[in-house]
Structure 1
Amino acid sequence: MTQVKQVVAVSGAASGIGLALVKQLLGEGCAVAASDISVKNLAALRPLADEQHLLLSCVDAAEQTAVALWAAEVKEHFGRIDAVINNAGVSLSCHAAEQPREHFSWLMNINFWGVVNGCEAFLPYVKDAGGCIVNISSLFGLLAVPSQSAYNAAKFAVRGYSESLRQDLKGSGVAVLTVHPGGIKTNIARNGRHFHDLHGKESDLDATAANFDKVARTSPERAAAKIIHAMRRRRRRLLIGSDAVFLDWVQRLFPANYDSWLAPLIRLS
């Protein structure tokens, strides 16, 4: 294989921020290991690069063994791994008291345990390279809003886990970056699960997606560029979007009562 700048593994790579990351990393001369749960969407990535520089793997980020096998496959294929970006994620909207537990578990297994699985599986290889771990949290890992208790719980957990991991790895040569995107123009809401009563009746998907679109101000391409830039600088924390920057300051200034006026502005369902 021709010399590449770095080898980067990206989960949730077939759409949204993940897809934008794959394209930009390849464009910058990196080799990319791209995983996604969708075989069909992964197949659409093949024209982006030759097999020497792009490894495609169908992986469920929620499955610990599958992620471990993927990490070993990436190491075997490329010989090293410089960074992993734990990006796979899903959405769920439902009031907390009405939330079906199976759907809560579904989201946590992907959005939180998927991050843990990626960190545990790739850490030995990234440590050998003195590389970088990137965990995608959210603006909703900094503040809470109605109907997002599961998503908030997962993204707050990603934040706490990542910040503790960074401290545990002090002196190891591994950088840990926690990313908090604001509204990004992706299909995460359209592809999610959204409910509004105890009987599990689904909300109007088009209306939910339309509400999400109202607060999605940043393109996946811009988000990806900022993540790659932050990786190069080995930053610890990244807010993406003016909404994320502004609302982060709001919750810092008014930690006890920001919700009284903020929540109606960013409700997703």
Structure 2
Amino acid sequence: MSAPTVLITGTSTGIGLETAVGAARAGWRTVATMRDVSRADALRRAADAAGVADLLEVRRLDVTDQASVTACVADVVDAHGRLDAVVNNAGAGHVGTLEQETIDDVRAVMEVNFFGVLHVSRAALPHLRAARGRLVTVSSVGGVVGQPFNEAYCAAKFAVEGFMESLAPLAATVGVTVTVVEPGAVASEFVTNVGVDRDAAVDA
């Protein structure tokens, strides 16, 4: 029987990178995806160091582009014959408050952190049903408790939580387990990548 296959989004840094290496170390055929595959060097080095490079492959996937998602999922199933698990990890931090940003800014946060999760989940679910697999979504403590200057990000994560809680019992009837992970602060590049000007943010 072939090794189970997992697709993980947002694996260039942080939780996604560590999850991809950990899954490969556990014996899973790991498809590590990211929007910009030129940023895969750190992941490849980590996989080499862990001795699991042969179980890990890097593919391009932009969660905000439905065509990219559909093509990637189809290619993975075509290459490996199965998809046993998906980890929705891709996301983008955002700091701001309503009077200092536009509605388009908020929409952009929702596109990555909420609709991106839906794009990937929708494409994967038929294959997860066939495998009686698992859909894992990395949310945040910001999906449980609202935080000042984090309104759009928290709104997106609250939406993810509600969506997945609602999907879980239905998915269970067709053999798919839905899991939400709510990490707190993690020492990674995630916050650095937000690029916030703290002084500007509080200078109302």
Between the aligned partners of 2:91 and 2:44, the Cα distance in structure 1 is 22
Between the aligned partners of 2:89 and 2:80, the Cα distance in structure 1 is 21
Match of residue 123 from structure 1: 125
Between the aligned partners of 1:87 and 1:97, the Cα distance in structure 2 is 29
Pairs within 5 Å for 1:48-67: 48=47, 49-50=52-53, 53-67=55-69
**RMSD over aligned Cα atoms:** 2.1
State the SS of the aligned residue for 1:191.
helix
Match of residue 174 from structure 1: 176
User: Quick check: 2:93–2:191 contact (8 Å CA) kept in 1?
Assistant: yes
1:133 aligned partner, one-letter code: L
User: Quick check: 2:10–2:16 contact (8 Å CA) kept in 1?
Assistant: yes
Deviation at 1:101, TM superposition (A): 2.6
Between the aligned partners of 2:195 and 2:175, the Cα distance in structure 1 is 39
Deviation at 1:186, TM superposition (A): 1.4
Match of residue 83 from structure 1: 85
Between the aligned partners of 1:181 and 1:36, the Cα distance in structure 2 is 20
Which ranges of structure 1 fall in alignment gaps of 5 or more residues? 195-202, 209-266
Give the total of aligned pairs. Answer: 197
Distance 1:50 1:139, change over 3 A: closer
Which ranges of structure 2 fall in alignment gaps of 5 or more residues? none
Deviation at 1:78, TM superposition (A): 1.1
Provide the identity percentage: 31
**Range with greater deviation from structure 2 (24-33 or 184-193):** 184-193
Match of residue 94 from structure 2: 92
1:211-258: CA deviations, max 9, x gaps? xxxxxxxxxxxxxxxxxxxxxxxxxxxxxxxxxxxxxxxxxxxxxxxx
TM-score between both structures, scaled by the size of structure 2: 0.89
Deviation at 1:50, TM superposition (A): 4.5
Between the aligned partners of 1:46 and 1:189, the Cα distance in structure 2 is 22
Match of residue 158 from structure 2: 156
Runs of 4+ aligned structure 1 residues displaced above 3 Å come to 43-47
Between the aligned partners of 1:10 and 1:188, the Cα distance in structure 2 is 17
Greater C-alpha Rg: 1
Between the aligned partners of 1:166 and 1:69, the Cα distance in structure 2 is 25
